[in-house]
Structure 1
């Protein structure tokens, strides 16, 4: 007879089957954070919207994902982990189907919000199910399998999304979730049991009533939702010169100002504000915010650059990002064995490498080849795992066991909302700097400039030669204008990389301010 300590909370249920099923469902959810990135050009064309409007498909998902993280722990506790997980999968599957059949941008964004709400609930509950399925001694093995799914999904997403967009349509980036979701729904309902101990605990909680911070949740929804509207619409509506933007900024700021004192005076607050004011956890929160901005922004802006300026197909643009994903998988294993190194040094090193990846992109020219972009992503794939794993260890340092679930939710919230802010920042810099560079370049065009005269003469000679063979097209001035536009756009992308590089630079001194973490704390956090 096996000892009771060799079993998890679910008794005789096979923990590895549970781990595989949970990992597949989580893979599907994490995949959706990147699968649409390379399809944005198709979405933009198919729905007749601009590229920055199409980027809302990413940001709305991330914000909705962040919002539900604040309440997922309470919902799972009151209604049961398995029940909540199944509802999330069902809602995610249905919303994916609706996204695939969206008839305009507004409909797609609504369905993406629903999809994000469902996906945000899946991630923390999946971790809780895994912790319950395995005995403490084997729990790390289950989380290793789960970790592989979480790491592989963002790497596979761009390539898969590119192939689907090129060979089928962008709709399939969402429709592909439907069969996976239905299969997961059936298998998890059959193979993942309910915990009898948790059922008794839920009954006890229900006798106390719904002790949920509804006011706090409403305020955080208004704050994050209003801020997202400002970030997404700001560039289009000329930021604070627009009454619309000023109104939503005021609503968002008011919600935040009301939220802070409300949470500080709650016996069981939705978010423990005091955690964020602590030096250790507060710094980790800011670092994760910046890391999310760096990760999601680069994953969105790179395929856009490759498709718009270098003529890559969506599939090839996805493949240019994939080598970085493979390196990230390898680095997750390597970093897992570096527990003897203080997290602050690993985070600082990862941020420095990420900064180098951005600096390397400043050399981009119109002649850059596939491997130039692939290597920049590989550098990022080396740096980011040095941040993601140690930041978990550092963030739990000094946090009591009763607060670990909330700490995990806040760190995930920082990553997702940071990603949304990173995308908004990138699109704003791109939109603002492109006309700036174009106006500066035009200043050098004139008959007084010998370089311009020489270039114009060469182009005219080329066109005259083609005219003699009956294949001339366009005029020399039109070609010059096209060259100026292309150069201005490329310079604007370089400015985006500068902005992201500055974010990475700031992370280095922030990481070094973290205090020394004992190895025992790091070991505990791994579980």
Structure 2
């Protein structure tokens, strides 16, 4: 099948990147609206996290199956249908009037969105020759970083100026446009979707994957609140997680028609890169989950200010990704970029962990610049590494699994960050309360100052005392969460420090021009 050229190629690049941005944008667009959504639906901040994690769980379940589903239904049909499902679910998310209704539609939205990531990447890669794929990786990596980073600024502006439900309605016109462009410009592969009768659906594999992902996500999300293994539910789900994982691996390795081709892990380059992919996803999604909560709760930034403080540095990544991709396409080595990316991420975590409560949006700009540079340096080579050592017939499986692992890392990261911040906040609150005693002169000075000010306004000494105690309690709670968020940033750095030595075990296979030409020919025959 001939590669698209000229205007058609540009449209394919724009369509696939836009779809990827939209899918990932919805992983973070709700972050800056969590307070508003929880207030509107009467849910706690801890429960409202399910609005994010339900979407991530659906992504993680469906992404590894996109290769199979694309083959079964035809890639173009599956891609178009997924865009439509995403748009319809977005509408019902905006119309939801209860937490669990919203969570349900977010899950369905994630099912539709799963194809928009892996299938977009596969379609984009098909539009480029093998020696140009690092450049294609650069374009796609822009979407991976721009999506999560654009979400907060768009969500912030909508929440400040419109209604929180409008953060979902904004997807609908984009879905309509993407559907039209897909139908008109993306071609079907020869024989696409005509072999349904020859393809068996791996129902046990699908069920085992859902069991594993759903169980482990619930454990991470609710384990802290339920006392971990003191809860019978958590204990039972831990058993189902282990059994689900073992059963899934055994099923996919032994069946003739696996829903997920795990044989790509036989490639050492892919297997080792996957470790960094999951940690990279953890760092990417955790940082854009914790940061909005911290700066809004502690620093008093509005949702719009929060979004802009994330978006402006992201424009740097728009220029970095194609440059890095172009360099790699000329034979540049990816390892130095990954080393630099990990080091920068470590520095970012410790800088974020030393923020102060009186910082304004502009003060966070250097910190966010570091984050974007670190993400660019790390994610760009990882996307390229996902297919660097694979044969063309395995590209679809490799891309799907790599995206699943990234989303899984992000889903786990959000759950871990949420639980870690909550537990650390409780510990810090306990430590701070230990200093609030009648013998502490600093406490007495602060307490008397607040009480005197209130008494001057109300003339009621008893009421002034009660309000002063409540104000002190609010100050302690705010400080406890502030310290907990700083701890969470440092946790990200520690995780990157732990995986740093493994980067030197990565190997990128060198291909001659003859091998590249052979790969191109094989890819065209596979298509």
Q: Same fold (TM over 0.5)?
A: yes
Q: Does the 8 A contact of 1:154 with 1:325 survive in 2?
A: no
Q: Corresponding residue for 1:126?
A: 120
Distance across 2 between alignment mates of 1:27 and 1:392 = 15
TM-aligned CA deviation for residue 466 of structure 1:
5.6
- Higher alpha-carbon deviation: 74-83 or 149-158: 149-158
Distance across 1 between alignment mates of 2:291 and 2:201 = 42
Please give the root-mean-square deviation of Cα atoms over the aligned residues, in Å: 3.1
Match of 1:422 among 413, 416, 419: 413
Match of 2:346 among 344, 355, 359: 355
| 2:486 equivalent to 1:494 | yes
Match of 2:211 among 222, 246, 258: 222
- Higher alpha-carbon deviation: 443-452 or 379-388: 443-452
Deviations 1:405-463 (A, max 9, x none): 21111110111010010011111111111121111112122232333344445445555
Q: Does the 8 A contact of 2:138 with 2:321 survive in 1?
A: no
| 2:423 equivalent to 1:400 | no
Match of 1:198 among 185, 191, 195: 191
Q: Does the 8 A contact of 1:100 with 1:175 survive in 2?
A: yes
Q: Does the 8 A contact of 1:155 with 1:326 survive in 2?
A: no
Gaps of at least 5 residues in structure 2 are none
Distance across 2 between alignment mates of 1:327 and 1:288 = 21
| 2:306 equivalent to 1:311 | no
Distance across 2 between alignment mates of 1:141 and 1:495 = 37
Distance across 1 between alignment mates of 2:333 and 2:185 = 40
Distance across 2 between alignment mates of 1:281 and 1:86 = 29
Q: Corresponding residue for 1:379?
A: 370
| 2:265 equivalent to 1:276 | yes
- Higher alpha-carbon deviation: 512-521 or 418-427: 512-521
Q: Structure 1 length normalisation: TM-score?
A: 0.88
Match of 1:42 among 23, 36, 59: 36
TM-aligned CA deviation for residue 331 of structure 1:
2.3
Q: Corresponding residue for 1:345?
A: 336
Q: Does the 8 A contact of 1:100 with 1:172 survive in 2?
A: yes
Q: Does the 8 A contact of 2:345 with 2:375 survive in 1?
A: yes
Cα 1:377–1:96, aligned 2, differ >3 Å: closer, same or farther? same
Q: Does the 8 A contact of 1:348 with 1:509 survive in 2?
A: no
Distance across 2 between alignment mates of 1:411 and 1:356 = 26
TM-aligned CA deviation for residue 159 of structure 1:
0.6
Q: Corresponding residue for 1:79?
A: 73
| 2:48 equivalent to 1:54 | yes
How many residues were matched structurally? Answer: 515
Distance across 2 between alignment mates of 1:385 and 1:57 = 27
Deviations 1:213-261 (A, max 9, x none): 2222221111111212222222332222212222222222211121222
Q: Structure 2 length normalisation: TM-score?
A: 0.88
TM-aligned CA deviation for residue 518 of structure 1:
2.7
Q: Does the 8 A contact of 1:30 with 1:154 survive in 2?
A: yes
TM-aligned CA deviation for residue 295 of structure 1:
0.8
Match of 1:8 among 3, 6, 31: 3
Distance across 1 between alignment mates of 2:457 and 2:451 = 10
Distance across 1 between alignment mates of 2:447 and 2:343 = 43
Deviations 1:469-497 (A, max 9, x none): x9x96644333333222221211111211
Q: Corresponding residue for 2:473?
A: 481
Alignment of 1:249-328 (within 5 A): 249-276=238-265, 279-328=268-317
Distance across 1 between alignment mates of 2:12 and 2:352 = 42
Q: Secondary structure at the match of 1:14?
A: helix
Q: Does the 8 A contact of 1:16 with 1:142 survive in 2?
A: no
Q: Does the 8 A contact of 2:387 with 2:398 survive in 1?
A: yes
Cα 1:51–1:374, aligned 2, differ >3 Å: closer, same or farther? farther
TM-aligned CA deviation for residue 277 of structure 1:
6.1
Distance across 2 between alignment mates of 1:25 and 1:392 = 17
Q: Secondary structure at the match of 2:243?
A: helix
TM-aligned CA deviation for residue 373 of structure 1:
2.3
Cα 1:367–1:14, aligned 2, differ >3 Å: closer, same or farther? closer
Distance across 2 between alignment mates of 1:141 and 1:430 = 38
Match of 1:244 among 207, 226, 233: 233
| 2:510 equivalent to 1:518 | yes
Cα 1:281–1:154, aligned 2, differ >3 Å: closer, same or farther? same
Q: Corresponding residue for 1:95?
A: 89
Q: Does the 8 A contact of 2:93 with 2:102 survive in 1?
A: yes
